[in-house]
Every structure is written in structure tokens, then in C-alpha cells.
A and B are shown apart, each in its own frame.
Chain A
Amino acid sequence: MSGAGSFPETLTEQAKALAAGQFSSVELTQHYLDRIKRLDPQVNSFINVCPELAMAQALVADTARARGEAGPLSGLPYANKDIFCTAGIKTTCASRMLANWRAPYDATVVRNLAQAGMVMLGKTNMDEFAMGSSNENSWFGPVRNPWDLERVPGGSSGGSAAAVAARLAPVATGTDTGGSIRQPAALCGITGLKPTYGRVSRWGMIAFASSLDQGGPMGLSAEDLAMLMNVMAGSDPRDSTSVERPPEDFTSQLALPLSGLRIGLPREFNDGNLSAPIAASVAEAAATLEQLGAKLVDVSLPHAGMAIPAYYVVASAEASSNLSRYDGVRFGHRCEAPKDLADLYSRSRAEGFGAEVQRRILVGTYVLSAGYYEAWYRKAQQVRRLIQTDYVRAFENVDVMLGPTTPSTAFRLGENADDPLTMYLSDIYTTGVNLAGLPGLSMPGRAVGNLPVGLQLIGNYFGEQRLLQIAHQYQKQTGWHLARPAFAEL
């Protein structure tokens, strides 16, 4: 129970309570809208709150329930990362470029959640165009970590993570290009799943790096994520990279015991960057999983150290091309009184994009340019293949891998803001998973003082159910996922 009275906090419990008629969706939605209004000024996790739409959706859900037509997610609220297009409601990507842009269509994820009867509370803050690891790169100001308001929530899905941690929403959507679901989940003490590339439709999800971007759920427990995956996952005729697979019930294997599962511990993750208390937290989690019947196996990912440089070349290259459409011509920010076409382009883009986005566009344009393409972009793609091969080989001997999500706990606002390289290293354990297209999950382990620690589980292709099962069994055993920041009591 939160400082908020008599509403349970997890989606699973809320679903049961709604079904039992303990409260209505309208009451639950109002509860969250009140909390957002009262507390979000301190966290800044939302860019836009949509109370009218939310209450209307809640009413529809209650009506459907009264008619006996409610599905498992009917009437449950969620927060939506402001990278997913919503028809009629601003979609900003936390950029001045799109500060007033309204999409004429819903993202497939948004449509799926709406069709399941879910209630959208609003659009969450993020790093501009999903580029960042601290949520300090937002045109709408930084997000603060509910565990310590002087610290960052991580990024780029920092608003979604902070909103869930502060109990301003039970669950949220996120996107993960190099760790943008898992890293903020780790820093905010919540659970987040980056699915296999192609598992969740990217239609209407504004592109950063198309070969790496993947949407996924964020919430308080693996059980909650499994419920969301049942609606978010699935092939989409509008996304040619979405994968056609028979529908799965992501909750069906949660209760299975872990006996006989082989869990790999990549030795390269125990590098000089990993802080000792986090290493201890990972070791403790490994021991717990062993007690639950899993077998621990030492594995090696020889090219893990090259993930960050390869990632920043590939992601920046794709970003430079994907962000070319923001030219001030058809939509988005346009500079005042351009002298000529070149002036229109350069000033609209210089004014509309923040420093980090501009840095990556410049890097990306450089590595794609004639004469540098072979040395940078092609080489990075070759490294990407080596990294992927590492994972494929390792998965011949293990079912999943366990390691840290981040090298350190949440850092202070402004601490790394002037040092992009240190900032980039906070994704050192997550980017390889995107380069390989694998699913990854972050869940809270033993905290360091007051600050959460993220444990990362990496699965084989389409092994989301296995990740959710292990996370659920761990959460049943330890309860770290139920630790709450003092802020949540407010």
C-alpha cells in the first residue's frame, strides 16, 4: 500500500482487485492523477499528463466490466514514454524539435494497450530522442530519481522508471536502444524488460537507431511485465522487422521451478568498471538462484569490451540518417525568417536539437561519409557480428546469463553531464545485448545503502519467458523488488 491509501501497487494485484470489484478503474485512475499532480513537480517524470483522456478511458473500462466484457488488463493505468506516437496528444521525444507536434496516428503499442482497455495517464519524460543515460538531455528538464532527488534516474526511459518508482503509475512503456529500459530500471529500483529485437512493433515508435531500438515494459515485478508483454508483443504488418511467431502467454511459465536451469556468469562483466558492492549484489543473487535449483556456469564473451565503441558508431550512424527528416520544412521546429534554404536547415536543426543529439548526428554523419565508411561504420558492423557470435556460442552451454545492469548506482545530477565518455560507460553491460538483438531484463537486487542495484538477466532469442520466470522466482524469494523509496510514502 502506498502513501496513497487503499490501492495495491502492482499491476497483478490491481487487476485482481478490479475484477473483485474492490474499486473501479475511475477511482484507481483518479488516485494516480492526484498523485501525479501533487508529487510530479518534484520528479518531473511526465512531459504531458492527460487527465481527460485517462478518465474517459477508465470510464469505458468500467462500463465494459459492468457488461462482463473486461479483459485481464482492462482499466489498469500506465504511463507512456513520449517516444510512442499518440493520435491527437503531443508526442515530443523530449525535443524542442517536436515540442508541439501531434501525430495523426497511434503507435501499434499504444493501440494494443488501448484495445486491451488500459488507461494512459500521460507521456513520460526521457532523454531527447532517447539519446542519453541520465535523463538530463530533455528539453523539458531533467528527471529526478525518487530514491534521492539529487540523483539521476538513468535514461533514456528515465521518466517512465521514475514514475513507476515514485508510484505515479503502476507500469510504463519504455524503449531500449543501448540500455534505455534496463539502466533506468536499475537506477530506480524497478523491473524492466528489453525484448528480443522484432518482438514488439516499432510502428509509431520514433526511431533513434532502427536496427537496435526495441520497446518493452517497465514495472514493479516480473509478473506485471509478463501481463504487459501479452499485449505489447506480436507481429505487425506495418513493421517489416517485427517477427511472426505464434502468440505466447508470457505469464504461463512464471511459476515453474528453476531446477536444472544453467545460468552463465560472463567473466568479462567483472571488469575494472564494476563497483564492488554491485559485484557483491550480483554474487549474492547468483547464490540465491543456485539455492533455487539453478546451476551456475562460467562463460566468456571475449568481445564484450568492444560493445561500447561499436554501439556508438552504429547507433550514431543510424541516428544521423533517421533524424534527417527534422529539417524545418514539413513539421517540427522551424527557425524564424530564414535567409535561404541552407539557413533554414542549419538554424532549425541547431535550435531544435540539444547538444547530445547534435553530437551524435555529427559522429554519425562522419562515420558514414565517403572515405570513413570502411574504417568506421563497416568495421563497427564487423565487431557487432563478433559480439553476436560470442553470445550465440555462450548460449550453447547456458539458458540465460546473469550480470550487473550498470557499473555503479545512480550518480548525481550534473556529475557526468560534461563528460560524455564516462556517461557512455554507464551502458557498458547493456549495449552488447542490443547489438546482438537479444532480450534482457533488469531487476532490483540487494541495494547499496539507499540506492537500488540492477541485476541483469540476458536471454537467448525469444527467451523472454525464461527471463520472466527466473525474475519472478527470484522476486518471490527475496522481495528486493518491493523495496520502496521514502518518496513513495508521500
Chain B
Amino acid sequence: MRWETVIGLEIHAQLATASKIFSGAPTRYGAESNTQACPVDLGLPGVLPVLNQRVVEMAITLGLALGATIAPCSIFARKNYFYPDLPKGYQISQYEDPIVVNGTLDIRLPDGNTKTIRVTRAHLEEDAGKSVHGLFPGYSGIDLNRAGTPLLEIVSEPDLRSPAEAVAYMRSMHALVRYLGICDGNMQEGSFRCDANVSIRRMGSEQLGTRAEIKNINSFPLSKRPLPLKSNGRLKFLRVADRWYRRRGSMTPTRTKPAACVARKTRTTTDIFPTPTCCLF
């Protein structure tokens, strides 16, 4: 029996603004911990978010470059979950009404042909802070410099059929956001990172299989590593994962990204946070 790989990518592009998405704090990378966060980023009582206009302009720029529809009215939503580096107990993101919908991006295939990949949506959201483990004996540290950094999450349709296509798509999008000047594309610093939703199905089938999510692919070489699915081991893994998710009933194929994200966070909580007393510095 022949199998086919189906891949959709979610790219998080950090927008190259001087200040954060909802506050005036600077976004400089590599600064001393907790020096790039103001009361809004810290989620102090009484603060309110004010949307950075540049962020909207940058999202629209990408939308136009993708030939997408720019939503005349776009809404921010709160994803509520508890995590120590999420200061407000929710992430401000877009859910039902993203700013960019229905675009396309042409990619160049290894054989020289061009393929058009559909871009479902691109939405604005704020990044969370960072938990630092192992630096303080008995404690975990929290660095909120990154909290509130503007991200554009660019979601493709599951139009990619091989790891090579996925890499080509990533490279095209990377070149585009850099050309547009909306993202510096620095993968080491996490300015451009990618999650892959991968599933397999029998060749010729119209139905999508249960997807597995591969998080935080932050370099092109790395992107080639987890994606190749030709080996039997990977196939087997996916089939096992498929059954496991179905049995657990929690990560079904229809499950949306937010829920999956919450599930991951909750697991992280119990897994690598045994000593809960946190300090800010």
C-alpha cells in the first residue's frame, strides 16, 4: 500500500517593531531579564492594552503580498490558561476574525516547477514570557522581556505533500517577510519559527488523517529532520499517535490550535516545573 504525507505549516513571524504589540516597551532581543517589560507586559492590576498601529500595518502588508483578503473588521480574543510565564492568565490572540484570510504563496519545487500553496489565515497575537530553569537552585526564573512581543501566525492549508515542499514553502515565506521588512527572519533568536501539522493517508484518499504536531522547528536543517516520513519508524509513530489521540479523545483531528496549545502547556506544567516557587529576577 502506498502512503502520502500531508503537511500544513503554522509559521510564527515576530514582527520587526520597535515596541510591543500592546505596550510601549521595547522589543530588543538579548537584553537583561525583565528590563524590556512595562506594567502592561507584567499584567499588573488596572493596566489596559493599546494596539500598536505598526503591527496592523505589517500584517496588512503581508496580506497584500499574499493576495489575501484583509478583514475590514478584525477581533482579538483571549485564550485563557494558567502558566507562570503568561502574566495575565490569558494570551491575546485572534480566533474567529483574523486580520488576513485566504491568500496564496507560490513555491519553487526541486524539479523546477511552481506550486501554489493556499494560506488559510494570518493572525496577530502576543508572545508569552520565558521560564528559566536550572539557573536558581530550588527556583524557576521568569523572564518577561518577550511577553507582548508581536507575532504574526501564518497558517497554511494542508497543501504540502513532502518535507521538501514544506522546506520550500518555509524558505519562500522567510524570503517574503524579510523582503517586506516585517520580520528580521532570525531563526536562532526565534523571530521566525514553525510548527508542522503532519498526517498520512492512503494515496488517493480525500480524507485527512489524524495529525501530529511538531513544534518549534527553528532552522531549515532542523526542518528536514523531523519531517521526512518515508522511514517506517516515522510511519509507525504516526499510526500509534493516531490511535492514542483517538483513544484519549483529547487531540482529535478537529481540535483547534488553541486547545492543543493549552494541552501542551498543561503538560509542561507538571513535567518540568517540580519546584514551583518562582522569582522574577
Contact = CB atoms under 8 A, between A and B. Distances in A.
Contacts of B259: 370
A85 B276 contact: no
A321 B45 contact: no
Interface stretch (A7-15, A45-53, A203-211): A203-211
13 contacts: A85-B45, A101-B45, A104-B39, A105-B39, A204-B46, A205-B46, A206-B45, A240-B49, A241-B48, A324-B90, A325-B88, A327-B82, A338-B276
A70 interface: no
Given A105-B39, A325-B44, 12 more contacts: A105-B46, A205-B46, A207-B46, A237-B50, A240-B49, A240-B51, A324-B80, A340-B276, A341-B269, A341-B270, A344-B277, A370-B259
A162 interface: no
Nearest to A343: B276
Interface string A224-250: 000000000000011111000000000
For A202, A238, A330, which residue has the most chain B Cβ atoms within 10 angstroms? A330
A137 to B, nearest CB: 17
Contact of B43 (A101, A325, A338, A339): A325
Nearest to A201: B48
Interface string B32-49: 000000010011111111
Given A324-B80, A338-B276, A344-B276, A329 B142 contact: yes
B129 to A, nearest CB: 10
B234 interface: no
Interface string A201-223: 01111110000000000000000
A202 B50 CA distance: 12
Interface string B65-108: 00000000000001010101001111000000000000000000
B280 interface: yes
Contacts of B274: 340
Contact of B48 (A202, A324, A331): A202
B273 A238 contact: no
A342 interface: yes
Interface residues of B, number: 29
A330 B87 contact: yes
B278 interface: yes
For A203, A325, A344, which residue has the most chain B Cβ atoms within 10 angstroms? A325
B48 A368 contact: no
Contacts of B47: 203-204
B90 A103 contact: no
A203 B45 CA distance: 10
A5 B3 CA distance: 93
B242 to A, nearest CB: 22
Interface string A88-118: 0001010000100101110100000000000
Contact of B50 (A207, A240, A370): A240
Given A107-B46, A325-B45, A341 B276 contact: yes
Interface residues of A, number: 40
Given A91-B45, A203-B48, A341 B273 contact: yes
Contacts of B269: 341-342
A343 B50 CA distance: 33
Interface of B: 39, 42-51, 78, 80, 82, 84, 87-90, 142, 259, 269-270, 273-274, 276-278, 280
Nearest to A129: B45
Interface string A309-332: 000000000001101110101110
A343 B269 CA distance: 12
B80 A321 contact: yes
Nearest to B269: A341
Given A338-B277, A341-B273, A343-B276, A329 B84 contact: yes
A238 B50 CA distance: 6
Nearest to B45: A206
Contacts of A344: 276-277
B230 to A, nearest CB: 37
Contacts of A93: 45
B49 A324 contact: no
Contacts of A240: 48-51
Contacts of A101: 45
B48 A238 contact: yes
A321 B46 contact: no
Nearest to A205: B46
A203 B46 contact: yes
Nearest to A237: B50
A383 B233 CA distance: 54
A361 to B, nearest CB: 11
Nearest to A210: B48
Interface in A55-96: 84-85, 91, 93
A321 to B, nearest CB: 5
A130 B184 CA distance: 45
A345 interface: yes
Interface in A14-62: none
A341 B273 CA distance: 7
A475 B82 CA distance: 51
Nearest to B275: A340
Contacts of B49: 240
Contacts of A368: 80
A238 B43 CA distance: 14
7 nearest A-B pairs in the assembled complex, by CB-CB distance:
A324-B89, A341-B276, A204-B46, A85-B46, A325-B43, A206-B45, A344-B276
B44 A104 contact: yes
A239 B22 CA distance: 11
A321 B89 contact: yes
Interface in A122-146: none
Contacts of B277: 338, 344
A237 B24 CA distance: 12
B275 to A, nearest CB: 8
A329 B278 CA distance: 6
A101 B142 CA distance: 20
